[in-house]
Structure 1
């Protein structure tokens, strides 16, 4: 048969696991807001970022801002609130996506969460009374546009708003790739499973 049997067992190296994640546009008339909050504990620095897009994936607005947050979850919720406020001027139902499962649950639920979140949750509850919104979780790889702004803006000193014309080139590139349906890839080794 021509098979050669090794005399010693071959060592099995961990194989990389590849998963693809796509950003999906909302169904009309919804607009989608992808947000990300960033927090570093020493020193207390936080930033919030978001991208507002329509049903075709076209950029309507984006923002990056410093935040007065004291936890990663608080930064995520504050970023979501900024994104909701930025999107409401379009007077359409708002679908917010965040890469924090806990933030998505709080945004959809009726609980206020831990005490340090009460201020931002009160603002979100008032928003939910006046506007149609829903929230969902998206893995970080599917939230590349907001994640890029988070990395860019953690050390910012003031609120920055971008339009389709003024957005940074790397952000425009990510949005164009997502409009074309090109997925983002996550690679991990088996040993992390």
Structure 2
């Protein structure tokens, strides 16, 4: 089940846009900006990574990040990725966002708290969250945080291109 909620800058109301499962990444409608987040976790080592990818309504890459850390569970890794996405949105002073995550468990755990805290959007399809998933898995094997603005790293260009959206080279 997919939940998408758009953030409205003026009223900060929760708006449900869709309740169907997307199997591929879809750009948001103008003037929204889509933020995909994902966490990766290794049960044996507890090494984890977060991936954040931000794109506009044309599918153009705006920014992204990956970060490695230690987490006690997959849901903790997914929650950290969500927070990382929100931090990047705040740092870039972005507005009118739709956030997507493939963690149904995290969204279920947050329940109504999402609606009370702020407007977020959530998707539970791994296919629609592919680029953030790759960024999170790459971060898990690295020891540093990376943030990209306007131009994605070469390690993500092919995945962005496979989404069928514009990607700067």
Which band: TM-score by shorter chain? 0.7 to 0.9
Report how far residue 179 of structure 1 moved: 4.1
1:160-179 → structure 2 map (5 Å cutoff): 160-165=146-151, 167-179=152-164
- Equivalences, count: 144
Unaligned residue ranges in structure 1 (runs of 5+): 1-19, 111-123, 182-193
Assess if the C-alpha contact under 8 Å between 1:93 and 1:133 holds in 2.
no
Assess if the C-alpha contact under 8 Å between 1:97 and 1:104 holds in 2.
no
Report how far residue 50 of structure 1 moved: 1.0
Assess if the C-alpha contact under 8 Å between 1:108 and 1:134 holds in 2.
no
1:136 and 2:101 are equivalent in the alignment? no
1:71 and 2:73 are equivalent in the alignment? yes
Assess if the C-alpha contact under 8 Å between 1:57 and 1:175 holds in 2.
no
Unaligned residue ranges in structure 2 (runs of 5+): 1-21
Assess if the C-alpha contact under 8 Å between 1:35 and 1:48 holds in 2.
yes
Report how far residue 28 of structure 1 moved: 2.1
- Note the alpha carbon deviations across 1:28-51, whole angstroms, 9 max, x for none: 222111111011122221111110
Q: Which has the higher helix share?
A: 1
Report how far residue 177 of structure 1 moved: 3.3
Distance 1:70 1:21, change over 3 A: same
1:59-138 → structure 2 map (5 Å cutoff): 59-88=61-90, 89-107=92-110, 109-110=112-113, 129=117, 133-138=119-124
Relative to the length of structure 2, the TM-score reads: 0.74
Q: What is the CA–CA distance in structure 2 between the aligned matches of 1:32 and 1:25, rounded to whole Å?
A: 7
User: What's the secondary structure of 1:136's corresponding residue?
Assistant: coil
Relative to the length of structure 1, the TM-score reads: 0.66
